[in-house]
Amino acid sequence: MILLEQVQKTYHIGDLAIPALRNIDLRIERGEFVAIRGASGSGKTTLLNLVGCLDAIEQGSYRLADTRVDQADDDQLAAIRNKHIGFVFQLFNLIPRINALRNVELPMIYAGIPPEERRRRALKALQRVELEDRGLHNPRQLSGGQQQRVAIARALVNDPPLLVADEPTGSLDSKTGQEIMKVFENLNQSGVTIVMVTHEAEVAAYAQRTVWLRDGAIVSDRVDQ
């Protein structure tokens, strides 16, 4: 499903070149649940942003579900994201002044889905994360774990085959983090491919495979026991 070959990424600040990823070769099959780990600054977010098509590939090649991502322009990247990818972030990134249902409906507004269908699918997505009774709450009226579940519901409404998550439990206590990982585990069992960045061993333990980065390079890639 994901095939990165010889991908490099260098950030430029004025004349300064900061190598962030070097010679990345990574292949992820449909249905996998992969954790990306490594020290702060090792390139995890940079790699996830490339995998999630949030950033364009400048060097190397990337194929996602038979689409050549490395040749896509910004509009094409947006279309690829819309069709293939759901996103979950450390800080939930919900819109504060609208309720959970409206937050979950947002990606469908961009996808041009009519209002009744939107509402129906938003409710279904909230059911999938066991939050159907909180649809009318604003984010502020929800716990951190509930906010993250709304964010997961929002990531799922367009039925993307791939979920990418950057430190999805990073703002949660460990018990709530485990609950979020159980949600991920269920999604993965229902066929969603997951690529997740995490610092925490207990969180990574939910994945079947761990890729370690050091100074922008993959130094270990193994299927967990």
Ligand X SMILES: Nc1ncnc2c1ncn2[C@@H]1O[C@H](COP(=O)(O)OP(=O)(O)OP(=O)(O)O)[C@@H](O)[C@H]1O
Residue numbers at the binding site for ligand X (CB under 6 A) = 11, 13, 18, 20, 38, 40-46
Give the interface segment with Mg ion, choosing from 43-51, 107-115, 154-162, 183-191 (CB under 5 A).
Answer: 43-51
Query: Is residue 46 a contact point for Mg ion (CB under 5 A)?
Result: no
Stretch that binds Mg ion, among 37-45, 100-108, 154-162, 213-221 (CB under 5 A): 37-45
What's the CA gap between 149 and 113, in Å, rounded? 22
Closest to 88 measured CA to CA, from 76, 71, 104: 104
Of 39-47, 67-75, 112-120, 134-142, which segment contacts Mg ion by CB under 5 A? Answer: 39-47
Which residues, in sequence order, are bridge partners of residue 67? 64
Among 28, 35, 45, 177, binds Mg ion (CB under 5 A): 45
What is the C-alpha to C-alpha distance for residues 27 and 12, in angstroms, rounded to an integer?
Answer: 27
Class of residue 159 by CB neighbours under 10 A (exposed 0-12, middle 13-18, buried 19+): exposed
Q: Which does 53 bind (CB under 5 to 8 A by kind): Mg ion, ligand X, none?
A: none
Task: List alpha helices for the chain, DSSP H.
Answer: 44-51, 74-84, 100-110, 115-128, 144-156, 174-189, 201-204
User: Which of ligand X, Mg ion, none does residue 11 bind to, with CB < 5 to 8 Å depending on kind?
Assistant: ligand X
Residues that bind Mg ion (CB under 5 A): 44-45
